[in-house]
Chain A
Amino acid sequence: MRVLILGLAISFAASRAHADKPVAAAPKPKTVLNPAPRPKDWAALAKLPDWSGVWNPNISDQNAQVKSNPTPWKPEVVPQIQKLEAAEKSGNPKGLFVDCLPEAMPSWMLITHNALEILYTPGRVTILGESDGNRLRRIYTDGRAHPEDPDPTFHGHSIGRWEGETLVVDTVGILPQSYLAVSESVGVPNNGDLHIVERWHLAEADILVDEIEITAPHVLSKPWKTTRKYFRQRARKYDLMEGVCLQGYFSEKTDADGNAIFEPIPQTEGGNPVPPEK
């Protein structure tokens, strides 16, 4: 009898446990807070190297780099690149960015002709660019890791750490559709699994260098190490201005009611305004 009662009790307890199982709430994930910066966090920024001002890309050096340190495209990608280069050479370039989607990472760093600025706040470095609608990169320097499965974005998820006066930035989570481009008309979609490591540092008082290592297993045969240089302006007239890519596709007009309006300008496939015919 005792055995029977014990058995029933165990069975009851087991069935209760079973009944309770769906009800038992999964442990709530701990909310991760971004803590309010303390005065010492703000004070720590003063010890970082001075990267204030406006940084212009050295375009001549960009072009020279592409020739002196060519991209190690995978053999199966090479014909696509050759076709795009031939189109560019013949005067019918394919406009990779004429839809005004962001040049994305790493192409922004590789081919931009527009200025950028770099801001420090506690736990973060922010790079603001002039083109593509004043795009930006948020680089978290608060010690966090990348998310396990980041939402793919044009500029990816970036974490950074300071090694002395060098900012080391690690970027993942970039949209596979975004281009790995060496010019506005030569490049291919990265096709996923892109990983970028950058080392930003001052080479001279007013020359900032971005040493970039790009691992793009679907389009590159090996990681590509390349360098881009920026030179600094401090005169206020060179401050970054707004850069809304699509604005160039409109002309400023006045409508029949006297309103100031934007009127679309027809574009060619290459992204130029359609030339006038009259």
Chain B
Amino acid sequence: MKFWSLVSLLLISTLPALAHHSFAMFDFNKVAKAHAVVQEFRWTNPHVVLLIKVESGEVPAGKTWSLELTSPGNLTRTGWSRKSFKAGDVIDVEFNPLRDGRQGGAFRKASIPATGVVLESNIRAQEKPGLE
């Protein structure tokens, strides 16, 4: 298997859950990293949304980005809660940007250096019964 086929296969297998709309508008072959400040965390169905203001990183500083996630119920399985982020939290975040270049993306992973907490959105690793 060619290297890029393997990479895309790995990426596809870790897509976030698509609760109510498709996530095909995001480019899962690209990962952008940014140091950012949380502006708003919307813990609602069908998609959780994290609004961040980028301070530095692989996308231009000073811009607000809207990052989408799966549903609260699915994220709870990976240890999230509605208190996972709050406005003002400084985070290091990775996301798959929108293909059309606008300031949106699919959330992949974030760490909060102040607390050491790391949050990911891959719910496929939890496709098994009896989770604790």
A176 close to B (CB within 8 Å):
no
Report yes or no: A130 in contact with B103, Cβ–Cβ below 8 A: no
Report yes or no: B40 in contact with A206, Cβ–Cβ below 8 A: no
Flag the segment in A21-29, A138-146, A154-162, A227-235 that touches B. A227-235
Point out the residues of chain B lying under 8 angstroms from A268, CB to CB: 25
Q: CA–CA, A241 to B65, complex, Å?
A: 27
Report yes or no: B21 in contact with A243, Cβ–Cβ below 8 A: no
Q: CA–CA, A244 to B17, complex, Å?
A: 17
- Chain A's closest residue to B77 (CB) is A238
B131 close to A (CB within 8 Å):
yes
Point out the residues of chain B lying under 8 angstroms from A114, CB to CB: 19, 45-46, 71, 73-74
Minimum C-beta distance from A190 to chain B (A):
19
B83 close to A (CB within 8 Å):
no
Point out the residues of chain A lying under 8 angstroms from B66, CB to CB: 272-273, 275-276
Q: What 1/0 flags go to B38-53 for Cβ under 8 Å of A?
A: 0010101111010100
DSSP class of A's interface residues: helix, strand, loop or mixed? loop
Report yes or no: A237 in contact with B129, Cβ–Cβ below 8 A: no
Report yes or no: A273 in contact with B76, Cβ–Cβ below 8 A: no
Q: CA–CA, A205 to B128, complex, Å?
A: 12
Point out the residues of chain B lying under 8 angstroms from A83, CB to CB: none
Report yes or no: B25 in contact with A98, Cβ–Cβ below 8 A: no
Supposing A91-B24, A238-B77 touch, asked if A248 and B129 sit within 8 A by C-beta, the answer is no
Interface size on B, residues (CB 8 A): 45
- Chain B's closest residue to A95 (CB) is B21
DSSP class of B's interface residues: helix, strand, loop or mixed? loop
Minimum C-beta distance from A109 to chain B (A):
15
A192 close to B (CB within 8 Å):
no
Q: What 1/0 flags go to A85-114 for Cβ under 8 Å of B?
A: 000110111010110100000000000011
B33 close to A (CB within 8 Å):
no
B94 close to A (CB within 8 Å):
no
Point out the residues of chain A lying under 8 angstroms from B102, CB to CB: 275
Point out the residues of chain A lying under 8 angstroms from B46, CB to CB: 114, 131, 243, 245, 248
Report yes or no: A206 in contact with B51, Cβ–Cβ below 8 A: no
Report yes or no: B103 in contact with A88, Cβ–Cβ below 8 A: no
Point out the residues of chain A lying under 8 angstroms from B132, CB to CB: 235
Q: CA–CA, A95 to B25, complex, Å?
A: 11
A2 close to B (CB within 8 Å):
no
Report yes or no: A244 in contact with B45, Cβ–Cβ below 8 A: yes
Q: CA–CA, A60 to B12, complex, Å?
A: 10
B20 close to A (CB within 8 Å):
yes
Supposing A113-B19, A130-B73, A278-B63 touch, asked if A88 and B124 sit within 8 A by C-beta, the answer is no
In the A-B complex, the 3 residue pairs with the closest CB atoms: A206-B129, A271-B21, A93-B22
Beyond A275-B102, A276-B64, 15 additional contacts (C-beta under 8 Å) are A60-B13, A93-B21, A93-B24, A95-B21, A98-B20, A114-B19, A183-B18, A184-B20, A185-B22, A231-B129, A232-B130, A235-B132, A240-B73, A248-B49, A278-B63
